[in-house]
Structure 1
């Protein structure tokens, strides 16, 4: 039969149940799964020669369960470590950021970082999701992407049109992209590309965003944080790495003990944000800037740099349009003028 559990073991089982439903104030009702964990913890206690099950035995049971399921997660980490999957966890890049996804395999799920990049150029207001163009984007991801163009228009294009072409993609992603949890990630990459400010590659991001720049809750927050932590650990913890999450997801944090310890020791960080402004300041180290009464932003802020670039593009597009118009008028005039008659 089962051995008795001490208080620490019971507490660890409760933590596991809360982790299953991703909530600090709720417990899983999947009693079969909890029962299997309890039985395995009792086995490991007997294996260690203990009459009472401790938290250590429960932890061993949890680790063994993860080990039996995480072959794919280990393979992904190996590909990143050897450089086949390109993920940077140090330095800074313009228009490049680490997003986070969750891969589900039955009752096992793990977080996987993905490199998101953005490029901008002079254009006619087109924001292109490469995944959407080739039908690798699900409807919810497409909705999240369309929100980005409305955010840009509302934040910057009150006095001039958006004269840009911007493309955003998940690099080395060959499966369908679904969900809106990367919409804030895509927006940060776009703001970096427009402002020219580099993003710290040691920081990964998750969170959906609305048209006003508010960051909203997402699912799989624990797996995403732990997945990026595992990659940072392999590549070397610097004390500056971490994950930006929505504030609304703080109540869902039920993290692995190793991650909790790393955060407590200052080796890894978790930032909770309510807005894109808060996030971009963490990622770039530059103030976002508040809109002034005249509709502009203070000098040296992220939003001012973005607005200046967009205004420059609008002026260049206007000049280009005028030049085209003059050339067309000139061509029409030449076509209307008759050729001088030759002498006979």
Structure 2
């Protein structure tokens, strides 16, 4: 697994240079969009790759409404949804340097830059959504959020997004051997790339926006995500098999530029932090309702859903878990996560 050190292979350095270039392009695009809006004092910018009705987008919009109401319009948030300001990796960099104020980012894409997020992405760390929410609301969630402050952003909230499972165009997956030969889209995360390999699939990193066409053209055979995203993205129109593995509960993180937070008065800072914490309840309520609706709609669409041999998937993932637990900080967080399972 690739680490977070400055040393690395030539390929690793090449990927970092490529990412830097992409971020520069994204920042240039964002600067043009934001300049065209003539940003006014007190108007914060927020970005999300999800569509306008997605629970995380709605939760951040709720924060903005709260700020606007409590300050008589002095503070508010302008939301750029559906990836208008670029990919998550790009918007994270823009938030770090203050080009935008808020970014909602999937933690799987944060593992290298913010190592503590790996604890929340480890395979089979959580048993259920209820288990995950207890952890997010406790000391582990607070420690992971504090870990963001090392690189120019501040963690405001963790938004859970259900269990991640496999879907594909070929067949039901009952055990890891059913993944053999399948090209599975993964997010740009070392954990997920290595996990798919251990389970017997061929990991194929792709931006989420390219998955639909990749499924249609058979560039990939399947992907893994939560059921709400599987439905909202309409990937089910091509991938007709859903396998309930629950192999990860990797959440989303809401981040604010440290420059933005430091520029607020003490009372405004407290207001923002309180509203962000309360937004988790808003997001969860919307998430639970939308997840139930997605399950209903997928059943009506005739998607074949199956349970899996959970122990066989856990056993196949054990080498990755052992490797991650060599890190003392991750070992302590993982132990606390497992202690909260009961």
Q: Normalising by structure 2, what TM-score?
A: 0.25
The structure in which a higher percent of residues are helix is 2
With normalisation by structure 1, the TM-score equals 0.25
